[in-house]
Chain A
Amino acid sequence: MSPDFLSTTYAALADPTRRAILARLASGEASVTELAEPFEMSLPAVSKHLKVLERAGLIARGRKAQWRPCRLEAGPLKDAADWLEPYRRFWEQSLDRLDDYLNELQVGEENDDRES
């Protein structure tokens, strides 16, 4: 996945209302009206959030039915979950090395002290 695509996913996920909409869609399709219910928000405001989610590929909207139900697309979410793993490996291993290095430094200091 290209970095830009991941940025789009994260920009879409950065908003708490949009995360709540996704959580709601995780339990099944819903119309814009249904999605708007739990929020004190106008339909156009909800539609705006849905457009951001749709552009990020996080949801898809039905074409046939009049009410154009929204549904969750899980692919980009999984990609977003995967981004952390390489960073975790990187830091865990770097910090292991830092631990060894700090021990080395301090043993060196002790030896210096003994010599002086």
Chain B
Amino acid sequence: MTARASADVASAPRELVITRIFNAPRCLVFKAWTEAEHAMRWWGPLGFTTISCEMDVRPGGAWRRCMRSPEGVDYWRHGVYHEVVEPERLVFSYVSDHPGGISGHETLVTVTFTDLGGKTELTLHQAVFESIAARNAHQRGWTSCLERFAQYLVNSP
């Protein structure tokens, strides 16, 4: 484990970035991502069918989908929208649900839509670090909130 391991650390598998150009106007591509009737038609690997799709596309809104594999196995995914900037940017958390009600680790997906005059460049970025950092920040927020509440109780007559 020398050069190879070093490369593994350096190129750390920290994020996934995919860029695509679609031959469609930006507002249509954004719509395909944010309206359930459209999202159901393409979301999921080849051969999968989306059998349930709920999405409350606004900051803080939740989404939940179920994909059925060609073998008939259902896969649930869920998350929360963090940013919704029509028609240029979507940020949402992405969690895989495992059988038995256990949730997998959370990742954060950022999708940007760039207008190329009739065509649209889409960049998808999926990362796990940011998500951990965001969750920790969120937890710190709650902790400080609870501390203040505790202080309030102590000070109350």
**What number of A-B contacts does a CB cutoff of 8 Å give?**
111
**Known A11-B132, A22-B9: A87·B16 in contact at CB below 8 Å:** yes
Interface membership of B138, Cβ < 8 A: no
Interface membership of A99, Cβ < 8 A: yes
What's the minimum C-beta distance from A27 to chain B, rounded to whole angstroms?
6
**Known A10-B132, A11-B132, A99-B22: A72·B5 in contact at CB below 8 Å:** yes
Which of A74, A78, A90, A106 lies in contact with B24, CB distance below 8 A?
A: A106
**Known A23-B9, A102-B28: A88·B16 in contact at CB below 8 Å:** yes
Cα(A105)–Cα(B31), bound, Å: 12
Interface membership of B18, Cβ < 8 A: yes
> In the complex, what residue of chain B is closest to A105 when comparing beta carbons?
B28
Stretch from B38-46, B55-63, B148-156 that touches the partner? B38-46
Interface membership of A91, Cβ < 8 A: yes
Cα(A11)–Cα(B128), bound, Å: 9
What are 14 A-B interface contacts by the 8 Å CB criterion? A3-B103, A10-B132, A14-B133, A26-B2, A77-B5, A77-B8, A78-B8, A81-B13, A84-B13, A87-B126, A93-B44, A94-B42, A94-B44, A95-B122
